[in-house]
Amino acid sequence: MFKRIGLYILAAGCAYGAAVSQVASSSQTSQANNANAVTTGQAYNANTVTTGASQANNANAVTTGAASQAIDGTTGAASVAPVSRFTEAELAAAVPAPVYTDCQKPGQFVITFDDGPNPKTTPRALQFLKEHNITATFFINGINYGDVENSPATVDLIRQEFNEGHEIASHTYYHHDLFEAIDNGMMEVNIDKMTDTIQEILGVKPIYFRPPNGNGAYPANNNPERQAKNEKVQKYLGAAGYKIIMWGADTRDWEHKDNLDKIIEELNKKLKAPGVSPETHSFIGLMHDVHAITVDIVLPKVVEYISSLGYTYVSLSECLGLPSAYQQETLVSAENSNLVAGDDLTGENLTGKEVDDDSSASIIQIKLVSSFIALILSLFFLL
């Protein structure tokens, strides 16, 4: 009698255990596949950013069609399937990223730079800012005038900007116009890759984002196509925790170059508009630290001019009344921010899926333990 009960329990326990371990191994396989799928276009980080130099790393970095096309994607890259970090449901529920063009308090002026760093020019901008005790915001790219994948100087400059108290923000990885990037399936990778790059280098996730050419944040003016693209950009950035920073005082330094009169004239379109003064208005200024003329001539002139009008320089965070330029809840652990070449980034590091994976792993463990107990129990009855 006892033996028969024991045999039943033994048979049931073995069958259950076998079934569970099969589920466990197939779930591991799918997890692994999943990780590969999710991190395509993200593998770049571990290999590229921290070392920044070797060709082998570069080869590793480009693991998918998406990433490889992105390299030279500024020139009408063929469409690829977008790799989204968020599900359709998450994007549908996301709050669109808010758009800022000025500060909370009148009299404030923020210096912001786009498109850098450029090892040939950015150091001189940093020197000037230090001498004048100004905190600026750098909206940086991964690959533009600098190259985080192949130029250690570029990576060092991002660290230097951060260590000298400036705020580091995203301007996309490849400096793609996001409207074009949407058409090419490249919007997501441009946003996510820059987020991850900054996180890899500095250990923080930025909060501020500026779209190249402003596309994605200009009012759509009843243009349904633009409106739909704006929504797509703003929802994705919102899901990724970003705020969009536009500008109120553009120097158009890239156009006017060393023509300082033209640059002041350009600024005056906004600064000297009727009713505008430091008593009532504030400005987010726009320059590009990637041009020698900007850092050597335009920056000193603009800083002197803005001061003479009575504005005070503040950081972007102070301007917006925010405690930090970085997403507090997403600070990475030390091991994540100190990746070295050859380290394998799994989906868990970047996708936030580890909670689900961990919990399913522990359920499997519990099931295996219970079938082991059944085995012991059946042996007890058998003996």
* Interface residues toward Zn ion, by CB under 5 A: 114-115, 212
Least distance CB 175 / Zn ion (angstroms)? 6
Residue of this chain nearest to Zn ion (CB atom): 114
C-beta of 86 vs 113, nearer to Zn ion: 113
C-beta of 114 vs 188, nearer to Zn ion: 114
Q: What φ, ψ does residue 110 adopt, rounded to 5°? A: -115, 130
Least distance CB 233 / Zn ion (angstroms)? 15
DSSP state of 49: T
Least distance CB 335 / Zn ion (angstroms)? 33
C-beta of 17 vs 116, nearer to Zn ion: 116
Least distance CB 294 / Zn ion (angstroms)? 13
C-beta of 212 vs 238, nearer to Zn ion: 212
Least distance CB 150 / Zn ion (angstroms)? 20
For residues 146 and 201, give the distance between their C-alpha atoms in angstroms, rounded to a whole number: 14
3-state secondary structure 175-225: CCCHHHHHHHCCHHHHHHHHHHHHHHHHCCCECEECCHHHCCCCCCCCCHH
**Cβ–Cβ under 8 Å, residues 282 and 247:** no
C-beta of 115 vs 147, nearer to Zn ion: 115
For residues 376 and 9, give the distance between their C-alpha atoms in angstroms, rounded to a whole number: 10
Least distance CB 178 / Zn ion (angstroms)? 11
C-beta of 169 vs 350, nearer to Zn ion: 169
For residues 370 and 15, give the distance between their C-alpha atoms in angstroms, rounded to a whole number: 12
DSSP tally for the chain: helices H, then strands E: 18, 9
C-beta of 172 vs 378, nearer to Zn ion: 172
Beta-bridge partner residues of 215:
none
C-beta of 115 vs 318, nearer to Zn ion: 115
Least distance CB 232 / Zn ion (angstroms)? 20
Strands 99-100 and 312-313: unpaired
Burial of 182 (0-12, 13-18, 19+ CB in 10 A): buried
Terminal-residue alpha carbon distance, the chain: 12
Least distance CB 118 / Zn ion (angstroms)? 12
Burial of 79 (0-12, 13-18, 19+ CB in 10 A): exposed
